[in-house]
Structure 1
């Protein structure tokens, strides 16, 4: 290949990658703010846990069945905001629970601060070094499956047999924090290195990582503060 043509191709690819990264972070910021608003509304309305569960299931149905079909169309953005708005609203009962604790405000702020620190530091590392973390994909997927199976098993043991799984639940939350940290490296690396070219799908991936990271940290910090 002509060196000049190769240079032009590499430059164009770099511009495209930077555009995807910029659009992803912009949309991610907007969806996080929107989620905070819907979470606040949910808290003010004192949303029930059953309603929150329905919203969470609806948001998962959207991201699994609807979003992949509209991610490349004009409907992609409204669907993303619908998804993140529902998931944000589903946090209302959980946040009300922790804020009702004696040191509740501090617990929530520590979880928010920890989530921001982990996400920003890991994202900055990848965008600065441009290191490829695609090799982590298989390990992260396997770890996620183990965590999901463990969480389902804990729910069955707790609800069906009345077994105290609080210690196991904390272990799962700690595992989720580690997994989500890995996913931040993996997802950001895919954007930076051209593996993900759709900023809507990239935003959803990072949003879910931040959501799970926050809820897991909230669980861990809340347990340590009790």
Structure 2
């Protein structure tokens, strides 16, 4: 038998029999909102890079925090849906603005870092998302405690590194953080499915979880690539 004559059933690949139809519809809304956030965040980052507003990082962080709290305080209902989508777009825009200083730094080192980091993040995010969607329900929820413990240890080491100033510890935090965020993509995706199966259909708030995962992954990968590029330039001198 010639294995190359076999046809791939793409319809079967796109079926998630362990996820109910209502939850599948919920996930479509979540990822549609996620796509909107990505577009708006890209616009925010572009605005910062063009305007070079020095205080944008601090102001955007405060603004995005205010919008997140506002969104959290606004109940999920059909009447408030448009308002909450507006808050989501504002949050995504300010998050993109907040990425501006890091983007400018990478552009100064090597502009090719940005597309490489974005494509790498997109591939990582897509692969781990599909792994979570195809896996058995609740199979990755056990990661929650492990990931939060890892985040706590990373926070403590970062605070300690303010006094030690170790470049090795800083790099270790970046790489470990990248692995931890991959775990959060698995965990958050399955947690969203589980919440939706139990009646929580707040797709706007669920979108924020995935959006923050993507942005954090992108930031860490971008910083790793930037550091590697700087090391290469030092070796050439």
TM-score bin (small chain): 0.7 to 0.9
Q: Partners of 1:179 and 1:66 in 2: how far apart?
A: 28
**For the Cα contact (< 8 Å) 1:47–1:93, is it kept in 2?**
no
- The equivalent residue for 1:177 is 178
Q: Partners of 1:124 and 1:43 in 2: how far apart?
A: 33
Q: CA deviation at 1:216?
A: 0.4
Q: Deviations over 1:68-87 (max 9, x none)?
A: 11251332111111111101
Greater Cα offset, 204-213 or 66-75: 66-75
What is the CA RMSD across the aligned residues, in angstroms? 1.9
TM-score after normalising by structure 2: 0.80
**For the Cα contact (< 8 Å) 1:39–1:92, is it kept in 2?**
yes
One of 148, 156, 171 as aligned partner of 1:141: 148
One of 128, 152, 158 as aligned partner of 1:151: 158
SS in 2 for 1:105: coil
TM-aligned CA distance change 1:123 to 1:80, over 3 Å: same
Q: Partners of 1:57 and 1:147 in 2: how far apart?
A: 23
TM-score after normalising by structure 1: 0.83
Instruction: Specify every segment of 5 or more residues in structure 1 that has no aligned partner in the other structure, as ranges.
Output: 1-10, 158-162
- The equivalent residue for 2:208 is 204
SS in 2 for 1:47: coil
One of 218, 228, 235 as aligned partner of 1:224: 228
Which structure dedicates a bigger proportion of its chain to helix?
1
- The equivalent residue for 2:98 is 90
**For the Cα contact (< 8 Å) 1:170–1:219, is it kept in 2?**
no
Instruction: Specify every segment of 5 or more residues in structure 2 that has no aligned partner in the other structure, as ranges.
Output: 1-16, 231-237
- The equivalent residue for 1:30 is 36
- The equivalent residue for 1:106 is 112
One of 60, 82, 92 as aligned partner of 1:55: 60
SS in 2 for 1:100: helix
